[in-house]
Chain A
Amino acid sequence: MATVTSKTAYGAAPSGASAVASAVPPALPSYPDGSPLTLEDAPLVRGNLSFHDITELVAHHTEKKTPTGWFLAFGAALTGLGILGLAIAYLVWNGPGVWGLNNPVGWGWAIVNFVFWVGIGHAGTLISAILFLFRQKWRTSINRAAEAMTLFAVACALLFPTFHVGRVWLVYWLLPIPNQMWMWPNFKSPLDWDVFAVSIYGTVSLLFWYVGLIPDLATLRDRAVAQGRMLRAKIMAFFALGWTGSNRAWRHYERAYLLLAGISTPLVLSVHSVVSFDFAVSLIPGWHTTIFPPYFVAGAIFSGFAMVVTLMVVARRVFGLENLITIDHLEKMNIVILLTGTIVGFAYITEFFIAWYSGVEYEQYAFLNRMAGPYWWAYWSMMACNLIFPQIFWVKKFRRSIPVMFAISITTNIGMWFERFVITVTSLHRDFLPSSWDYYSPTIWDVLLFVGSFGLFFTLFLLFLRFVPMVAIAEVKGVLPQADPHFYHHHGDGHAGPHHVDFQQDAYVQAADESQTPADESSAAAH
C-alpha cells in the first residue's frame, strides 16, 4: 500500500537506502560509539526525505484518483450518518421517551456520549497549541489530523446536548440572544457554561486548524496549476486566501499561529473543566466533587490521545506515511497515554478516599455502589481499561508495538466511555432517597444515535483525508534537518540535486531504534 516513492525528486534512485520510503524503516546510521539512544535523539522524519518528498508524500493523496477503498469506507460512514439521521428524526418526532431514561436517571447515553466526544476533541488542540508553545517539534507530523479529529469530535459532541432536550426546537434559548422579553439564559447554570465553553472551543479550534492549513492549501493550489487542474486550483486558491509564501506572509502567519495557540491553550484546559462542572456543581453524591476539573482534563487528554493513536496507526499505514508519523511519534503519544491514564486512575482512587474520609454516608454509598452495585461491570471495565491496561506502556517494547498500542488505544476509548457512563448513571440511579432508586438501561435508539455519531465522525474524517493534506506539510518541513539555518553551510546550497545527508554530522542524529531488524542494522553499518 505504502508505495509512494520519491522518484519524482530523484529520478532513478541510486541506492535502496535513500530511494524508498516504505513500510520497512530505512537503514539508518547509529552512533559510532554505540551509546544508547534517547527519544530526543530520534529523527522526527525518517527516510531521508527532501522538502519535495514531503510535499509529494502528503499532497499526492489529495490529488490522486479516489481509491476504491476510500469509497468503501465512505459508504460505511455514510450508512452511519444515515442511522444518525434516522435516530434523530425518531427522537424529535416522539420525544426523549424513546430513550431509556427514567425518573432518577435523567441523563443517560446522550450525556455520556457528549462527554466522551468532547474528551476526544481534546487531543487535537492540545497537540497543536500546548505542544506548540512548549516547542515540541514532534507534534508537526500529527497535529493536522489530530486537529481535524478534534473538530469532528466536537461536532459529534454538540449533537448530543442539542438533541437530548425535550423541545429541541427551542434549544436556542440556551444562547444569550437579545429578545423582547428580556429573557436571558441562567448564567448560573453549568449547562449554559457548556454552551459557551464548547462553542468557543469549537470556533477557536476551527480557526486554528484553518490558519494552519493556509500554506498547505497554497501548495495544493500551486500544484494544481502545474497539473493543469484549473477548477481545483480555483477552489484551493479561494481557501488559500492569496497566500504567496513571502517573508511577510510567513511573518504574519507565524504571529497569528502563535496567538491562536496562546488563545487555544487555556481553552483546552477550560472546556473539559467546564464540562466537568455539569456534574461537579450539582449536589448528587458521586458528582459533587472538586477533583472533577483536573481529573476530567486528564481523562480528556487520555482519551484524545488514544483516539489519535487509533486513527494514526491506521492512517499512516494506509497512506504510507510511516516516515512522517514514525514509531517515535506514536511512542511519545503512548507515553502521554500512560501518564494521563495513571492520573485518571489516581483520581478514581482519590475519589474513593475522599468519599470515605468525608464521612458523608451518601458519598460513601455512591462509591461503594459504583464498585459493587448493579453497575459493577461498568465500573470494573472502566478501571481495567483506564488504569490497568495502559500500565503495559511502562515496557518500551510494548510502547513501540503497533498491535499493542492499537489494542490499548481501543480499550482506552472504551474505558473512557465507561468512565462517563459510570459517573453519569451510577450516581443518578441511586442517590439520596432509596424510594426513587431505579435502574437505567438504554434502548435501541440510544445505541443508534451513538453509532450514528461515529458515522458522522468518520464521514467528516474521510472527507478530510481525501481533500485536505492530512499532515502539515509546511510545519513538517520546518523540523527537517534541511530547515536548520546552518544546514547548507555544510551541505552546499541545496540546489545541487540529489544530495547526501550525513546525519552523523548533523544536530538531528538519526539512529536505528531497538525494533530494527539485524538486516537493518547491517545496512546501516554499510551506509
Chain B
Amino acid sequence: MIELDVLSPAARAADAAARATAGQPQPWRSAADRDGATEALRATEFMEAPEADGDTSRRTFLKVMGASAALAGLSGCRRPVEPIVPYVRKPQDVIPGVPTYFATAMPRGDVGHALLVQSHEGRPTKAEGNPEHPVSQGATDAFAQAAVLQLYDPDRSRSVWRRAGTAEPARADWGAFVAEAGRLRGQTLAVLAPPTASATVAALRTQLAAAFPGLTWITMPDGVEDTAALGTQAALGRPARPLYRFSEADVVVSFDADFLGAEDANSVWNNREYAAGRRVEGRAAGRAPMSRTYVVESSMTITGGMADHRVAVKAGTVPFVAAAVAAGLGVNTGITASLPESVAAVATAIADDVRAAGGRAAFVAGPTQPPQVHALVAALNAQFGGAAVRYLDTGAEAAQPVGPQLQQLVAAMNGGGVGALLCLGTNPVYALPASLGFEAAMARVPVTIHAGLYRDETGQRATWHLPMAHFLEAWGDTRAYDGTRSVVQPLIAPLYADARSEVEILAALATGRNASGADLVRTALGAADETTWRTLLHDGFQAGTAYPAVGGGGGGASLAGLTPPADDALEVVFRASPTLGAGAFSNITWMQETPHPVTKLTWDPVALMSRATAERLRVGVEERKGKAYASVVRLAADGATLTLPVWVQPGHPDNSVTVSLGYGRDLATEREITDLSLLSRLVSRDTDVYRPGPISHLAGADLDGGHTAARAEALRPVGRPPVLPAATVETVGDGYLLASTQDHGSMEGRAIVRHATAAEFVANPNLFKEREHLIEDTPWAEYPPLWGDENSASADPRIGQALYSDNQWGMTIDLNACTGCNACAVACQAENNVPVVGKDQVSRGREMAWMRLDRYYVGDEANPGMVIQPMLCQHCENAPCEQVCPVNATSHSPDGINEMTYNRCVGTRYCANNCPYKVRRYNFYNWTKDLPGTVQMQSNPYVTVRFRGVMEKCTFCVQRIRQTQQYAHINNEPLADGAVVTACQQACPADAIVFGNVADPASAVARSKASPRNYAVLGELSVKPRVTYLARLRNPNPALAHLDPFAGEADDHHSAPHADSSAVHA
C-alpha cells in the first residue's frame, strides 16, 4: 500500500519559503488554500497523537504488547514476507507474468536443433522446437528439453581456474586468461574441438591458424569414431550425411542403426518421417498400406521395437547380414558368412522386398558399423533408395580417422612438440581410451587450456580452466541436420561472470583481446544489414541454407577385410546413452531419472546381455521384493577395465555386451555441499538428490571402485571404434541394486496395447471394435452408474454456463506413431515442475513422472516384440479417483479435465489406489525443499510446486489451456482447434499425440477418435477415459510369418491369466 506523508505545517512553510527564494510561484488548489484558510482545517483534519513520544501510557503499552504478541504468534504460522520489487525501469516487451519466446538453436556437435525458448522475466524455463524450422517443425528430442536444466545445473563451472606449476589450482579471472592468451601467440598450439557447423568458429579457426603457425586442429566427435563420414566419403568421395524421407520408403532396413532413438542426431526428423510412413490412413493409391521395417541390431532399441522383423546379431555379424542382403540384391561385397537359417531367411526376404519396392527402400547404417558398411549402405541407397534417401554435402573437410590423429598428438605432447593445448568444450581425459595415455601426455604440455561447462576430468588437470557459457547465454551459430543455418542467441546473460562462449574464447586466443560474441557471430554470418540480422534473430534460422545433395555414388560396396566375429568371444558394443548422450547430460537430474527407453532403468549404467550369455557367465539379475539386484562384472581388455552391473535384456544377441557411454564422470563442483548435522541425520530423511555432490557421481556410486569404474570410455581401444571384438569378464560382485521404473514386462494377455497387422486392418477396418473387450451380451444400458447423470458435474446447469464448458478436452495417442523416444516425458517434467526423487526412491517405486512410457514385450525372450504405450492421466469422465477423495481435492472441471487441487489435498492416497491406470503420483517426501537456487529458477511459474503429502498427476497442461483461453477471451475470438498444445504433444516429433476439443466434431482430436483404430485402455471399466489410443499396426512379411513374435499373441485374449508370470521380466 502506498502511503503519502502528510506535510506538517512547518514543512509546508519551509517548502513555500524555498519556492519563494527560488522565484517559483506558490501552487494552490483553491482560493481558500492560497489564502491559507485551509491551514486551520488541516490542523484539525488528522487527529493528533494522544501523547508525546517517550511517554508510554498503559493503553499504548497494552496495544503494543498485544500487537507484538499477536504478530509473534502469526510469524510462526506464516511464511516470511518477501517484498516483491517491481521493475524500476521495465524492459521493453517484458510484461511481468507473460512469457516471451526467443528463437535460438542448441548445437550438439555439428548438428543444431532449432528451438523456441520460453523466457519468464528473463529466465529461460522451457525449450520447444522452432515450429517454422524445416527440421524441427516444433518438435524436439529429450536432450533439447533437458538443456534448460543444464543452464541451471548447480555444478556448472563458475570461475576461471589456474594451476601454476605443480601447485593446486586456484581461482583466477577472465582478464588473467586474456593476458595469458596474448603471451601464448606463436606457440605450437593444438586444439581439440568438437565437430561444429559454426561459420564463426570456422572464421576464427583461420585467424587462429594465422596467430599460431603450425596449429593442429583435431575435431573430436563425442562418443565414438564417426564411421559414417568415413564410409560415405569412401562411397561418394565426400563425407556426406544421409537424409532419410522415411515417409517415401516402403521398405526400411536398418543395420544396427537406432535412427529413432535420441542417439541419432536427426531423430526428430526421423521420427516424424517414419511415423508418416507408418500411417495407414490417407495413403497414396498404389502404395503399400504402410512401410515395412527390418532391423538388424546388436542391442534392443526403440527402433528394433518398431520393426516388423528384427534380427538380433552381434555387432560384428551385422556387416555379414548386410552382405547377404546385398548379395540378394546383386551387389557383390566380396565377403560371405554362414548365417543362421532364420537370419538368412530374413536377408532373403529383405532383398525380395527391396526389389519389389521399386526405389522406395531406405538403408540405414548405425554408428556401431565400420565405414565399409556405411559405404555399402550408400551404394544400396543409390541403387534402391532413390525416392527416400538423399546424401547431403556438409562442406566438411575430408574425413580422417580421429584415432591416428590423436595418437600423433599424444606422441607430440609426450615429445614436447606441443606448446599449448586447447580443449575447447571437449573432455579428452574422460572421453579418450585409457590406453591412449592422454592424461600423462597432458602433464607434459606447458600450457593446457580447458574450456567447458563443467570443471571436468580435463578441466581439473589443465593449467587453465575456463567456464564456458551455456548456449542459452551465449552467441553462436550452427546448422541443422539438413544444413539450415541458425543463430544461437542468448536469452540471459551468463549466470557466472567469467563464463565465455566458444567463439569468445577462440577470439581471445586468436587476437589476445576481448571480443563480443554478438559481433563475432554477426560478422561471420555477414548480416551487416540490421534488417537481415533482426529477421535472422526473430526467425532463428535462415531459410534456404540447406546443404546441397551429393550426386553419384555406387562405388565402395566392398566389405572385404571384415572378418566374422568368433562365436564364443564376448563382444562389447559402446553406444551413447539414450538418456545421457555421450556424457553431456550426465549431470542433469531429469535425464538421470528418465528411464532408458527399453530397459526402463534409471540412474545406473549397466552391461546389457542376453539371458543365455548371462547364464553362461553365471551372472544375472535377481528380483527380491520388487527390487532388482544385479551381479557386477568387470570387463577387461588390453589392461583397461570397466565395472558394471548386469542387466538381462530380452532380444539381446548372445555373446555380446552393450555398454553405455556417459557414465563414470568425475566433476569438480564449486557448489557448497554441506553435510547434515548429526541431529538432522537422526530425525530427517534426506531426500535431496543434490546433497551428495555432483549428480553424475550418483550413477554407479555403489560400485566397487566407485562410480568412475563405470567409465566405458576407458575400455575402448586406441582408435575408439564402437565395438571391442573380445573382452574378458569376471564377476566381481553381487546384489547391486538397480532402479527400474517398470518391474513387469508382459501384458499378461490383457488387451492393453492392441495391435493387428496392416493387412488384417485393411481387410477389416472394424476389427478393433469387434475385438472390444466387453463381457458378451451385457445390456449395459440397464445398469446405470452408481452416481447417475442427475448428479454428474456435466449435467449441472451451472456448469453449462461456466466460462470454459464449451471445450471438452480430449487426447488421442497413436501407438503406431509413438516410438518411445522419451521426448514427451522430459517435456512434461520441464513444463510441470515434476520433481526428481533419486535412485533410492525410484527403486522403491516412487518416481514422479506424470507421463510414463510403458514398455511391454510380446513373444519369447530371445526374439521378443516390443510395444510402447505412453501412459498419463486419462482424465476419465467417470473418474474413480474423484469419487473416493474424502475432501474433494480432485474434481472435474467444466471442460472435462480431472483436476487436482493441491491446496485441498490431505494425502489419503485413496485416489491413487482407485486409479486403474496408476498414473497418480504422491509426494512421499518434500522433494523440492532443498533444491539449489539455480535449479529453482527453471521452475514454470504457472505451475504450483507441490508440497509433501499431496497427490499430483497430469493436468492436460491446464496452465496452457487457461492461458490460451484467456487470450482468446480477451481478443473476443473463438478458441481455434490446435491453439492449445500440451507439452507432451508439442515435443512429440512423431505427432503421435493429438489434443483438442472432442465436443467439436471438426477438431483434429475428434477426427482422430473417429478412427477405427481408436480404443480406450480399460474402457470396459466404464470410466470413460478422455485419452484414447489408436491401435498399433504391424506390417510383417508374410514370408516370415514364422518369425513374427506377435503371431499367436492375438490381443482379443480371453486366455487364462497366470499368477506367477513366467513371461518376460525386465
Q: Which residues does A use to contact B, with CB under 8 Å? A: 90, 93-98, 100-107, 161, 164-167, 170-171, 173-174, 183-186, 188-192, 195, 278, 281-284, 359-362, 364-365, 368-369, 371-374, 428-429, 431-441
Contacts and interface: CB of A to CB of B under 8 A. Distances in A.
B884 A97 contact: no
Given A282-B914, A361-B750, A97 B924 contact: yes
B1017 to A, nearest CB: 8
Contact of A439 (B626, B687, B886): B626
A433 B948 contact: no
A103 B684 contact: no
B746 A365 contact: no
Contacts of A372: 1059-1060
B783 interface: no
A435 B744 contact: yes
A445 to B, nearest CB: 10
A170 B910 CA distance: 16
A435 B857 CA distance: 11
Contact of B752 (A164, A371, A433): A433
A165 B906 contact: yes
Contacts, number: 202
The 10 closest A-B pairs by CB, nearest first: A166-B907, A166-B949, A439-B626, A102-B845, A97-B924, A106-B909, A436-B918, A435-B854, A365-B1057, A368-B1059
A107 B913 contact: yes
A97 B914 contact: no
A185 B1059 contact: no
Contacts of A104: 845, 918
B201 to A, nearest CB: 45
B1057 A364 contact: yes
B871 interface: yes
B787 interface: yes
B916 A95 contact: no
Nearest to A98: B685
A406 to B, nearest CB: 33
A374 B744 CA distance: 13
Contact of A434 (B750, B775, B949, B1053): B750
B744 A97 contact: no
Interface in B732-763: 742-750, 752
A103 to B, nearest CB: 5
Contact of A428 (B887, B913, B949): B913
Given A96-B909, A282-B914, 5 more contacts: A102-B845, A103-B846, A104-B845, A362-B750, A365-B1059
B950 A433 contact: no
B549 interface: no
Contacts of A432: 750, 916-918, 1018, 1021
A435 B740 CA distance: 11
Contact of B747 (A106, A282, A434): A434
A167 to B, nearest CB: 4
B916 A283 contact: yes
A183 B912 contact: no
B871 A433 contact: yes
B714 interface: no
Contacts of B916: 283-284, 431-433
A186 B750 contact: no
Contacts of B845: 102-105, 438
Contacts of A103: 845-847, 912, 918, 921-922
Contacts of B921: 103
Contacts of B1017: 433
Given A98-B685, A282-B880, A435-B744, A174 B906 contact: yes
A113 B989 CA distance: 49
Contacts of B1018: 432-433
Nearest to B1053: A361
B686 to A, nearest CB: 10
Q: How large is the interface on B (under 10, 10 to 19, 20 to 34, 35 or more residues)?
A: 35 or more
B917 A438 contact: no
B1008 to A, nearest CB: 22
Contacts of A359: 775
A227 B840 CA distance: 65
Contacts of A173: 887, 904, 906
B856 interface: yes
B904 A106 contact: no
Identify the interface centre among A186, A371, A435: most chain B CB within 10 Å of its CB.
Answer: A435
Contacts of A97: 685, 687, 841, 846, 924-925, 948
23 contacts: A95-B923, A95-B949, A96-B909, A106-B913, A106-B922, A164-B909, A166-B905, A166-B907, A166-B950, A167-B948, A186-B883, A186-B885, A189-B884, A189-B885, A190-B884, A191-B886, A361-B1057, A368-B1057, A372-B1060, A433-B854, A434-B746, A435-B854, A437-B743
Contacts of A369: 1059
B908 interface: yes
Identify the interface centre among A94, A164, A278: most chain B CB within 10 Å of its CB.
Answer: A94
A72 to B, nearest CB: 30
B78 interface: no
A458 B917 CA distance: 42
Interface string B931-953: 00000000000000001111000
Nearest to A428: B913
Contacts of B1060: 372-374
B538 interface: no
A355 to B, nearest CB: 10
Nearest to A363: B1057
Contacts of B407: none
Contacts of A281: 883-884
A59 to B, nearest CB: 45
Contact of A94 (B684, B749, B913, B1054): B684
A88 B1056 CA distance: 44
A166 B909 CA distance: 8
B1059 A183 contact: no
Identify the interface centre among B687, B841, B910, B923: most chain A CB within 10 Å of its CB.
Answer: B910
A372 B1057 CA distance: 12
Contacts of A368: 1057-1059
B886 A192 contact: yes
B835 to A, nearest CB: 12
Given A97-B846, A191-B884, A364-B1057, A434 B904 contact: no
Given A368-B1059, A434-B746, A441-B625, A101 B924 contact: yes
B683 interface: yes
Contacts of B912: 103, 106
Nearest to B1063: A434
A203 to B, nearest CB: 20
Nearest to A368: B1059
A186 B625 CA distance: 36
Nearest to A278: B910
B1007 interface: no
Given A102-B845, A282-B880, A170 B886 contact: no
Nearest to B947: A167
B1057 A174 contact: no
B888 interface: yes
B600 to A, nearest CB: 9
Nearest to A364: B1057
B926 interface: yes
B855 interface: yes
A439 B743 contact: yes
B844 interface: yes
A167 B887 contact: no
A420 B79 CA distance: 41
Contacts of B747: 434
Interface string B1034-1066: 000000000000000000011011111100000
B958 to A, nearest CB: 20
Nearest to A161: B908
B771 to A, nearest CB: 14
Interface in B414-441: none
Contacts of A360: 775
Contact of A96 (B880, B914, B918, B949): B949
